[in-house]
Each structure stands twice: as structure tokens, then as C-alpha cells.
């Protein structure tokens, strides 16, 4: 069997139009929102993990201010997360929906904060087996006193004010009055979520209460209860977006991905390596160590091949690295 080698430089220069992948003149923006919701990225999270409200809002505002896009499809795959972050994104999606058609397309999960985002769109499309709903809130704190005793850790808090250490005092459980404050806070957050959902779905508060209370529904069940508008995947969502933007269904459009990250070469190779049986795990460690902050560094080739001098030259990972670095030098 003859092997075909494709060099990275040639591959990277192939344009979508040469493969017939471009659509019509009208453009529809696709914004993907996957993972847990937070207001800021954690210190150990990678660039493509989770939904960070600040970054997501930037994309929403970019689309809102642009006249290029006739409609927007937001593809949601999230179990929820930070309540405030969800509310901030809900507001921005609501403002976007006031200027152009917005369709929320639910993937595997769009629950709690994920549904919070979706309900700001003009139309919600879910898969039959999507897990959605979960209109509710959860709050509390860890009580780590016994753990601290076991490991010999002592924590002392100096505070001023009766409730100053409400959440900081994790070495003890809530006092009854503190627990009551947390309970009221959770109730207020739940009512805000439920009431906004009721307005979004054209229901009374009592009607929404029947399907809320933290209940989780499949997409099919959610549709029968008025929580989503249609069943289908992202293709169905695009078709609805075209219809709402007054674009004929038989007319081609160009789908513009605004949120798909462009991984660095080491990230790509690390992902490929994890799926190849027998690949030395040290390769992944080296690739992570040499991941540059601004492009690929020339020292990459030396580091990799000095440490793997005895490795098989037929390994596709090494071949791809060599091709890539050779293309850089020849340019």
C-alpha cells in the first residue's frame, strides 16, 4: 500500500473555496458555548475550556455591531455554572436578539445556566435527548472543620461585623441566622431565574413554576412543556435562522464560526498523540513544556529530536513536526 505524504505548508494553504466549502453571500454567525460557566478563567484551565462570560460577551457584541451577519446561531453545551455570569450573558444575548435573529441550538446539555443563556434567544432548538431545564439554583459552602483537624491545619479568622465571615469561615458550619441569609439569597436568585424564564416563554409565573424547581427534562419533554420551540440539530437551527432573516431556504449561506479556537501546533500534536496506541507519553509532556505564547519557537525541533533520537522515524507525530518546521525555514 503506497503512502501519500502531505506537507503542512501545502495543506495550510488550501482555501475553503477550492473544496466547495464556502456558501452564499449572506452570512450567519455560529457562536459555540461549551463547558461550565464562570466569570473568569481559572488558573489551571486551558484556553478552550469552559464558558467565560467576559470572552463570550465580547463575541456577542462583535456580532451585534457588525452588519455582515444576517442572523446568529448560539450552540450551547453547558450544565450551567456561575449565576451572575449566566445573567450577564443573558442580557447581552437579549440585546443581540433585539437587533437580528438569534437561535439557540442545544447540544447534549443546556441546563440551568445553559438554559438561562438559551432563553434569551428568539427561538430555542433542542435535540430529542438533550438534557435541559434545571431552572433552579444551588448555593452553600464547604464545612472543613473535621478535615482540618485530621491534617493538623488551624485556621483563625479576624473579622468585624456579624456576617463578615459568612462565606470565609469554612472551618465551621453555618450558624442558624447565617443559614437563613443564604437561603433567602438562593430564593431571590431562583425567583429571578424563574420569572425571566416565564417572560421568555410567554408563560405565567405559576405555569413556569410547574416545570421549574430544578427539574431536568429531555429535549422532547421540554418541547411538549413549552420550554423549547423545535426539535433538531444545528442544521435545523440554521434553517430557522435563515427563515427569520428572510433568506430563502434553498439559498446557500456562509456559516462563520466565531468561537472555535485556533490551537497551536503543540496542542494539535498533543491531541493526536493521545489517540495513537503506544505513543511515548513523554512526547506530550515535552510538547506542553515548549508551547510558546507567541507562535512556534525554532528550538522545538532540537528539543524533541535530541530526546527521541532512538525513536522510530515512521512515527506520524515526528513526521508532522519535521514537515512543519521545514516549511518555516523554507519560507
> What residues contact 330, with CB distance under 8 A and at least 6 apart?
9
According to the 3-state scheme, what is the secondary structure of 227-285? CCCEECCHHHHHHHHHHHCCCCCCCCCEEEECCCCCCCHHHHHHHHHCCCCCCCHHHHH
Query: Angle at CA 84, nearest 5°, toward 78 and 85?
Result: 45
Whole-number Å distance between alpha carbons of 192 and 88: 13
Instruction: Look at strands 216-218 and 131-133 and give their pairing.
Output: antiparallel
C-beta separation of 276 from 317 below 8 A? yes
From 38, 86, 107, 112, the catalytic residue:
112
Whole-number Å distance between alpha carbons of 121 and 99: 11
C-beta separation of 51 from 78 below 8 A? yes
The distance between the two most distant Cα atoms of the chain, rounded to a whole number of Å, is: 77
Is residue 200 among the annotated active site residues? no
C-beta separation of 264 from 289 below 8 A? no
C-beta separation of 289 from 267 below 8 A? no
Whole-number Å distance between alpha carbons of 274 and 180: 49
Q: For residue 301, which phi and psi values (nearest 5 degrees)?
A: -60, -45
Helix ranges (H only) for the chain are 8-12, 53-65, 83-97, 113-118, 145-151, 176-200, 205-211, 219-224, 234-244, 265-273, 281-289, 299-307, 316-330
Catalytic residues: 112
Amino acid at each position: 500500500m503506497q503512502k501519500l505524504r502531505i506537507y503542512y505548508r501545502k495543506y495550510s494553504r488550501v482555501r475553503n473555496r477550492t473544496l466547495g466549502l464556502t456558501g452564499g453571500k449572506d452570512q450567519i454567525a455560529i457562536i459555540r458555548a461549551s463547558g461550565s460557566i464562570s466569570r473568569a478563567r481559572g488558573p489551571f484551565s486551558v484556553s478552550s475550556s469552559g464558558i467565560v462570560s467576559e470572552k463570550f460577551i465580547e463575541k456577542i457584541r462583535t456580532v451585534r455591531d457588525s452588519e455582515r451577519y444576517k442572523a446568529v446561531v448560539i450552540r450551547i453545551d453547558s450544565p450551567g455554572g456561575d449565576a451572575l455570569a449566566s445573567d450577564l450573558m443573558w442580557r447581552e444575548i437579549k440585546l443581540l436578539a433585539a437587533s437580528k435573529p438569534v437561535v439557540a441550538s442545544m447540544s447534549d446539555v443546556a441546563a440551568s445556566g445553559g438554559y438561562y443563556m438559551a432563553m434569551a434567544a428568539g427561538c430555542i432548538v433542542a435535540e430529542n435527548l438533550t438534557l435541559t431545564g434545571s431552572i433552579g439554583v444551588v448555593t452553600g459552602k464547604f464545612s472543613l472543620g473535621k478535615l482540618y483537624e485530621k491534617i493538623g491545619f488551624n485556621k483563625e479568622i479576624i473579622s468585624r461585623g456579624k456576617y463578615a465571615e459568612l462565606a470565609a469561615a469554612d472551618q465551621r458550619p453555618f450558624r442558624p441566622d447565617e443559614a437563613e441569609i443564604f437561603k433567602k439569597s438562593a430564593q431571590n436568585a431562583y425567583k429571578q431565574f424563574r420569572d425571566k424564564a416565564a417572560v421568555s416563554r410567554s408563560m405565567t409565573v405559576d405555569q413556569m413554576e410547574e416545570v421549574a424547581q430544578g427539574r431536568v427534562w429531555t429535549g422532547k419533554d421540554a418541547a411538549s412543556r413549552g420550554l423549547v420551540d423545535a426539535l433538531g440539530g444545528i442544521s435545523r437551527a440554521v434553517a430557522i435562522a435563515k427563515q427569520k432573516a428572510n433568506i430563502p431556504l434553498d439559498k446557500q449561506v456562509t456559516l462563520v464560526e466565531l468561537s472555535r479556537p485556533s490551537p497551536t501546533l503543540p496542542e494539535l500534536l498533543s491531541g493526536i498523540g493521545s489517540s495513537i496506541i503506544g505513543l511515548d507519553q513523554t512526547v506530550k509532556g515535552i510538547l506542553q513544556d515548549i508551547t510558546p505564547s507567541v507562535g512556534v519557537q525554532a528550538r522545538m525541533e532540537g528539543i524533541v529530536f535530541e530526546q527521541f533520537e532512538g525513536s522510530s522515524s515512521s512515527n506520524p507525530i515526528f513526521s508532522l513536526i519535521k514537515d512543519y518546521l521545514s516549511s518555516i525555514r523554507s519560507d
